[in-house]
Structure 1
């Protein structure tokens, strides 16, 4: 893999783990039964102990699934991370969908609808990245990078509307 592709891939992984670590833990592990096994793959260990990962403990916990342990290369691991991200984003989107059905102020409803749209966009981005990692790492890098500002805008809207965390 050429150096620019490795750099793009590292950024995709970093942004994905950073995004996932900002989600509530209950949302992240909603569909994944996680326990730290006695042995992780060297690929997972190397990724989580790399300089781009700030929360190593979270990284190891999030990637201690049977599928992550048996990944053979960084592209497979990246694809798995994107799929995990999409599953967790869908779980968060479902929470927002349920909240929008409850009575609330017009400002809160506007903020929640902003979040619904942001998370729908994030799901599409994570799903696209899974296929782009192999064919076009730079596009994958871009698609992951634009998720952050969308989610940050959602969070800002929630704060401005004084919506309490569910």
Structure 2
């Protein structure tokens, strides 16, 4: 496949300011089309794959199953998903997106926020960020307050019952 290249008569290179260099008030904002959750998950997944370190970490934690990473992002971004329904990979991804622990967390959290703000309207981006942070806070609370062991009395076994009936 060949791609035709058309050169301009006056090749001028104009400097382009990167949107990341602009403050939020200077950015030209056009309301993006409403994205489905699956499309949003795909775009975030593509952004994560474009970052070399984040891509390597996701490959590692997903055991090279990148389809599962995209599915996990889709579930994480679902507003109806509760923290107790998250699979271990999803819990790990939420931790990376929020905790700022280690090198990856310090890279991924701002990258995730910037990606959401680049793709979505500011209000929608903030709503999703709050949702993911709530999932993280719930997971952290559960880790710090594990459920007490069950205190259901066990059924006596036949042997233990026989020992009580037999005189010694």
More helix by share: 1
Larger radius of gyration, structure 1 or 2? Answer: 2
Report the TM-score when normalising by structure 2: 0.31
More RCO (CA 8 Å, sep 6+): 1
Report the TM-score when normalising by structure 1: 0.31
